[in-house]
Amino acid sequence: MIDQIYYAHTSGATGDWQLLSDHLYAVAEKAREFAEPFSSGDLAYWAGLLHDLGKFNPDFQTYLKAAEKARKENLVGPTRGPDHSSAGMVVARTAYSQDYPQLGQTAQGAELAWSIASHHAGLADLASLEERLVRKSRDTAVSQAIQIAVQIMPELSDLLRAQPRLPDFSNNRSREFFIRMLLSSLVDADHLDTEAWLNPEKHAHRERILSSISDLLETVLENQGKLIASAKDTYINQARREIYYAALKKSAEHTGFFRLSVPTGGGKTRTVLAFALQHAKEHNLRQVVFAIPYTSIIEQTADEFRKILGPENVLEHHSALAAKDDEQDPNNWTRLATDNWDAPIIVTTTVQLFESLFSNRPGKVRKLHNLARSVIVLDEAQTLPIPLLNPILDALSELVQPRYGASVVLCTATQPALDESLGFPALADVREIAPEPQRYFHSLSRVSYEIHLDERWSWEDVAEQMWEGEQALCIVNTKAQARSLFAVLDDPDALHLSTNMCPAHRLTTLRKIRELLNEEKPCRVVSTQLVEAGVDLDFPLVLRALGPLDSIVQAAGRCNREGKLDKQGRVIVFKPEDHTLPRGVYKSAAGLAETLLNQNADLEAIETFQRYFRTLYQTLVNRDAHDIQTRRQRFDYPKVAEEFKMIPSDTVPVVIRDYEPSKVAAILARGISRLSMRDLQPYLVNVYQDKLNQLGQDGLVQLITPGLWEWMGTYHPKLGMLEQFDVERTVT
């Protein structure tokens, strides 16, 4: 007979304690709801029912009382209670194998146990799970918690008699992926129920009336109809209309992989938004996720979507997002929704999307269940990192399987870069949305290329070309090159863009550039590659230092973008005297581009890019350079998370206080926390670890807290962070 009351959490807003059984049932129901879109509601229900079973341990109840007493008396109480996830893990594994823990390399039957074991600690590797199962199955505290739980909740015994059905998997990577999705459903359900009890005011801010996919589609169709009706009958607008209507027609096709190959200026952003919403309506999909490679593109895309659909329907989620005045409240919806992507339209980075898909941390994994039955749009798909392409496409191919029912749209303003013929079996059924894309690449051509590779140009030569007109953009390969050219250009009104500037600074500079271009005022810009893919800029003259072929064509997309010139825009490709290139894939791709350009390759022909990418993918670069796929096959979640980095992991964040001193000071004054780190993102510059020691010795950085530094050197109003004092003298 059990006469003790068991609790999940101490006093919430009402002062009452939450009954453990109430919490378990609530999480189970919510987890079921989240997993139903991938037909795993019953399994997720049991994950929720079992996840906190260890709280039936009397020692855990003692811990809760001690923590509450310390809180009321303003004392330092216990910071961590006894293990409470292992009991449910043991029950789950017992349900599927009486002779556990002989999981074997297939981890057969471990899906439920693994998700429960990981809901706080994160996904461990297979060997660690096996060891923990053996050890905890012999733990008397775990056995006691299970015995008490079964007496209080006798229906738990049903699990041992009638196992929830496990999916069938064709390979271990599919099982590995499924465990992530099941964990996502559990973690989100657990967090939401806990939040609702402990902080109902915060939880209430999540509740809002969302527009349906049908309503959003109707708004887009109406908006686009007005735009088409008012547009001049130019050849560009005619092509945009053709592509747009073809996309709407294509949206009726079955879910899976699609590709939209449209040259710059072809109306790609609006077309793919209409396609995604129409496709979602046709197939009862739940949301649209736009993943974009650079934060410099995200703001313009999110702003355009908000103007059409309203701010309440568009969630912008990326590291450079500066908190607006009305978002300082930690309970603001836009802050809360980034936890689990609970919005009909998500605009995020490819970094955020894919590092979440391959993470082992519960906070990152939490949002993944919302990708089931969604439309995922990968903008500028050709920029996906080649050394990670195989795991990326494998994860996407899982999402488009019938179990998850998603569709993926690969958007590119270059010729098709990803295709089955180039060695990607997952893309065997990729369908082109644009009719006859080659025709549009020719008909929408608005630039002429001038290739100068016979002799190397000095920065003075480049500056001379930029001074020939009032508006010119030059894109170079390194930050050092950008600083050197900027100094030689000697234009007091010139602007500069590079990652030595914090994100907030870069976004402000981009707004200034657009303003000058729109007002037809002088505007000379020196930039690294961060502006060449998708950034909405329109220069009559673009110079591009020799680099990868797709980068050159993307740079050309910033030239005569709207076709307003009476003649073709000029794109000059040159080889600088300082032909320094980033190492690895970039350098290999630039060398291949030089070979093709010297052979007079047609930069508007599909054949050129098929040859380029085939050589790059199949002979020059390893598409799984970190052996992610093998590690996934072995269920080595921690190593997968460690090795899967879209951005080099050997960098450390440095806070730039000087850009907006009062805002940064106010954030730092709150102390370092998850929320303050989120707010600091717009004011961070990443510095390579191997430079950090020297910067410290030179007095240029100062440690704030382990892993976070502050920049103490010069922060130039145009160039951003200057790593050497002598550079400043050349750019006053």
| pLDDT tens-digit series, residues 256-310 | 999 998 877 778 889 999 999 999 999 999 999 999 987 767 878 888 999 999 8
Kindly report, residue by residue over 23-69, the tens digit of the pLDDT: 999 999 999 999 999 999 999 999 999 999 999 999 999 999 888 88
Q: pLDDT at position 488, please?
A: 96
Q: In whole angstroms, give the CA distance from residue 194 to residue 188.
A: 10
> 446-603 domain in CATH 3.40.50.300?
yes
DSSP 677-697: HHHHGGGEEEEEHHHHHHHHH
| Burial 155-184, CB ≥16 within 10 A → b, else e | ebeebeeebbebeebeebbbbbbbbbbbbb
The pLDDT of residue 102 is: 42
Question: CA–CA distance from 63 to each of 9, 71, 83, 88 (Å)?
Answer: 11, 12, 11, 19
The fraction of the chain above a pLDDT of 70, given in percent, is 92
Q: 457 pairs with which residues across the strands?
A: 576
Q: Would you state the pLDDT for residue 88?
A: 94
7-204 CATH choice from 3.40.50.740, 3.40.50.670, 1.10.3210.30, 3.40.50.300: 1.10.3210.30
**Higher confidence at residue 312 or residue 37?**
37
What are 489-500's pLDDT values in tens digits? 999 999 999 999
What per-residue confidence (pLDDT) applies to 334?
60
The answer to whether residue 323 scores a pLDDT higher than 50 is: no
**Extents of the domains making up the chain:** 7-204, 213-441, 446-603, 651-728
Token code pair at residue 8: 């999940």
Q: Which top CATH class is 213-441?
A: alpha beta
Higher pLDDT, 234 or 729: 234
pLDDT at 59: 93
What burial class does residue 212 get, using C-beta atoms within 10 Å of its C-beta: 0-12 exposed, 13-18 middle, 19+ buried?
Answer: exposed
DSSP helix/strand/coil, 8: strand
Q: Do domains 7-204 and 213-441 have the same CATH topology?
A: no
Q: Are 501 and 721 in contact (CB under 8 A)?
A: yes
Cα separation values, 57 from 54, 458, 676, Å:
6, 74, 35
* pLDDT at residue 327, as a whole number: 42
- pLDDT for residue 479: 93
Mean pLDDT over residues 106-129, rounded? 88
At 369, is the secondary structure helix, strand, or coil? helix
Q: Write out pLDDT tens, residues 498-534.
A: 999 999 999 899 999 999 999 999 999 999 998 887 6
DSSP 560-606: STT--SSS-EEEEEEEESS----TTHHHHHHHHHHHHHHTT--TT-H
pLDDT at 328 exceeding the cut of 90: no
Residue 731 has pLDDT above 60, yes or no: no
Q: What is the pLDDT of residue 81?
A: 83
**Quick one: pLDDT at residue 1?**
45
- Mean pLDDT over residues 663-670, rounded? 92
Length of the chain: 732
pLDDT at 15 over 80: no
Q: What is the pLDDT of residue 339?
A: 79
| High-pLDDT (> 90) share of the chain, % | 58
pLDDT band at 440 (very low <50, low <70, confident <90, very high): confident
Q: Is there a contact between 29 and 79 (Cβ–Cβ < 8 Å)?
A: no
User: In which band, very low, low, confident or very high, does the pLDDT at 610 lie, cut at 50, 70 and 90?
Assistant: confident
Which phi and psi (to 5°) does residue 87 adopt? Answer: -60, -45
Per DSSP, the three-state class of 615 is helix
User: Global pTM?
Assistant: 0.87
User: Looking at the predicted structure, is the pLDDT value of residue 206 above 80?
Assistant: no
> Measuring CA to CA, which residue among 397, 393, 395 is closest to residue 384?
393
